[in-house]
A and B are shown apart, each in its own frame.
Chain A
Amino acid sequence: MLLTRDAIQFSWQALSANTTRTFLMLLAMSIGVGSVVILTALGEGARNYVTAEFSALGTNLVIIIPGKNETSGDNPMGLIGITERDLTIDDAVALTRHPKVSRIAPLNIGGAEVAWQSRKREVSVMGTSHEFQKIRQWEVAQGKFLPKIELSRGSSVCVIGSELRNEIFGAHAALGQWLRIGDRRFRVIGVLDSEGQSMGMNVGDSVYIPVASAQALFNVPALFRIFVEVKTREAIPKVITFIKSTLKERHQGVEDVTVITQDAMLATFDRILSALTYAVAGIAAISLFVAGILIMNVMLVTVSQRTNEIGLLKSLGASSKAILNLILIEAILLSALGALVGLVLGQLGCWGIRSAFPDLPAYPPAWATIASILVALITGVLFSLLPAKKAAQLNPVIALSKR
């Protein structure tokens, strides 16, 4: 009986003898596997990126959004709530009464033109409190963050992002300078060290002022968000209950806010982006299916071209099962090698993406790598069954007489 090692060697010799055909089949299979690796790496990278962004918001964080998420249609995050009663600074202050609440930071957001001497720039203006820095775990490069004052008190001070500092002040010292924001003037008391995106805004290209000053600047008494940091993870449910009951009481018995936790946000994004990753993996897997069909076609041609050889092998004592195995081993070798090349190509592609977009952690998930190899092997074998059976069933007399 044909030894496995000899069968592999024989099949390998057959593949090596026709390099063009083998190369084309390897290319087809490797493109399939490489696509799965790259596309899932993109999906997983996006998921990890978003997760990291939300994790960076802080720890044990609860976010209060005005309006109920039921009022915002299909929006799963309830990010655009609609309400008749605004969130106010007094609402935020009321929430500090719970013993498990460690920090509170209200947030107002607007856009305004900032100017210093002749330099002007349109930036995002965030009205918040000194605790926002601790909640967001930001570092201050120069000076300090906003002062610890009552939330209802305004102050003509501001903290600017590093990018904004460079654009407006250039080589000049920023600290102590008066910066015009809209129609008001604020003294720069600090420059943030942190960069990146936060809630769609560029942290480094924003300016931070006390929340009461922002309300006055934009003439908007309503808050955009209230960030609540809870002392322990276990206390989060109790604090949420407290928030809801307190705000309901303050809003004439109407529960008109949406309270979301970091975990809930992360879980939602995780679900959405995981589904996206699976979807792109599925799309990429189609190319593996196409590669399988190509392997079947080429193997059918191969069997046809090697009819004589198959007849000879039978005359020398090869059973139909041995012939079937030889053809299947060729397919497995092709698929395995194609998968291997595809993995290398995929990893190179991921490396290229990471080099081009350093913020995107485009690493393929282990399940995708394993699944793509398995699908490649299974596809290769399944699509070779027909040509292998055809070869095994060849009549040796007819096969030998074929010229």
Chain B
Amino acid sequence: MIKLNNIQRNFLVGNQTVHALDNINLTINDGEYVSVMGPSGSGKSTLLNLLGLLDSPTEGSYFLNGRNVTELDENEQAMTRNQNIGFVFQVFHLIPRLTAAENIELPLVLAGISESVRKERVHHALESMKLLDRAHHKPQELSGGQRQRVAIARATITEPSILLADEPTGNLDQKSGLNVIETLELLNQKGITLIVVTHDAALGARSTRSIGMIDGRIDSDSVDKKSANHSGNSPGESDVTHT
């Protein structure tokens, strides 16, 4: 479970302090499917970076599965990222010199897992993403949709509890985008907490909970109860009344 208490994230721009996140209180339960929406500069990506432990709050505390992760040192945060959090980026961020299989394998390499175990898990991931025949292809030899599926396989190879996706379909055509979002939703249905940052209203509408942000604050937090009940997950809460 994710719990943010009075999170403040300020940046100093020149002499001015910009409140990228302003007094955020948010709870996201395990297995939720959350979309974060809002205009540019509203703090969506900053929130995602904080949730992914890529950034630290200026004030407030972040509890992940009951543990205050803002108090962890740099190494512990890296380990937490490796084991509990997966990232899917708009621009895929695949390493060009590595094959699809090697890109997927990276988090396991960083975790120090033995090669035999890695190969087995990578094979399974490639199979589930229908990429077995592309295992030894370099990213530039793959289509956009395939690249994003490689990125999803990489993000989930360590079986994290949270998957953070920043505009996952932003660089894809409609068909590939739909394919990618269905893959993510399938993972959510299997129990992973899925948090998607997007500008795309249609994509946001697919989630069971939609958080709207404006000027670093949570402006709305709505739950599609039907979908939420359908997926069997009960939503968490924010400082904004659910609709």
Contact = CB atoms under 8 A, between A and B. Distances in A.
Interface of A: 1-3, 6, 10, 13-14, 16-17, 308-309, 311-322, 396-397, 400, 403
Given A3-B112, A322-B110, A397-B54, A308 B93 contact: yes
B54 A317 contact: no
Contacts of A13: 97-98, 102
A319 B95 contact: no
Contact of B78 (A16, A17, A317, A397): A317
A2 B78 contact: no
Contacts of B98: 13
Nearest to A317: B82
Given A397-B54, A397-B55, A317 B93 contact: no
Contact of B95 (A16, A312, A318): A312
Contact of B54 (A308, A315, A322, A403): A315
Contacts of A396: 54
A317 B110 contact: yes
B109 A315 contact: no
B75 A6 contact: no
Contacts of B111: 1, 317
9 nearest interchain CB pairs? A317-B82, A17-B97, A319-B78, A1-B112, A312-B93, A317-B81, A396-B54, A316-B107, A319-B75
25 contacts: A1-B111, A2-B110, A10-B109, A13-B98, A14-B97, A17-B96, A311-B93, A312-B95, A315-B87, A315-B93, A316-B81, A316-B82, A316-B110, A317-B82, A317-B83, A317-B107, A317-B158, A318-B110, A319-B74, A319-B75, A320-B74, A321-B75, A396-B54, A397-B49, A400-B93
B154 interface: yes
A319 B111 CA distance: 10
B52 interface: yes
A312 B111 CA distance: 14
Interface residues of B, number: 29
B136 to A, nearest CB: 14
Please indicate which of the listed interface residues A313, A317, A400 has the most CB atoms of chain B within 10 Å of its own CB: A317
Given A17-B97, A400-B54, 5 more contacts: A10-B109, A13-B97, A314-B54, A317-B158, A319-B79
Please indicate which of the listed interface residues A315, A319, A321, A403 has the most CB atoms of chain B within 10 Å of its own CB: A315
B62 interface: no
A397 B107 CA distance: 18
B78 A318 contact: yes
B33 interface: no
A322 B112 CA distance: 11
Contacts of A403: 91
B159 to A, nearest CB: 13
B106 interface: yes
A187 to B, nearest CB: 84
A5 to B, nearest CB: 8
A2 B109 contact: yes
Contacts of A14: 97
Given A14-B97, A312-B95, A315-B81, A400 B106 contact: no
B52 A315 contact: yes
A283 B236 CA distance: 70
Nearest to A7: B109
A400 B109 CA distance: 20
A327 B98 CA distance: 17
A253 B74 CA distance: 87
Interface in B67-99: 74-75, 78-79, 81-83, 87, 89, 91, 93, 95-98
A45 to B, nearest CB: 45
Contacts of B52: 315
B219 to A, nearest CB: 23
Nearest to A4: B112
A313 B112 CA distance: 14
Contacts of B82: 316-317
Please indicate which of the listed interface residues B74, B78, B83, B109 has the most CB atoms of chain A within 10 Å of its own CB: B78
A312 B112 CA distance: 17
Interface in B179-225: none
Interface string B107-147: 10111100100000000000000000000000000000000
B79 A317 contact: yes
Contacts of A16: 97
Contacts of B55: 397
A317 B107 CA distance: 7
Interface in B16-38: none
Contacts of A321: 75
B18 to A, nearest CB: 15
A311 B78 CA distance: 12
B106 A316 contact: yes
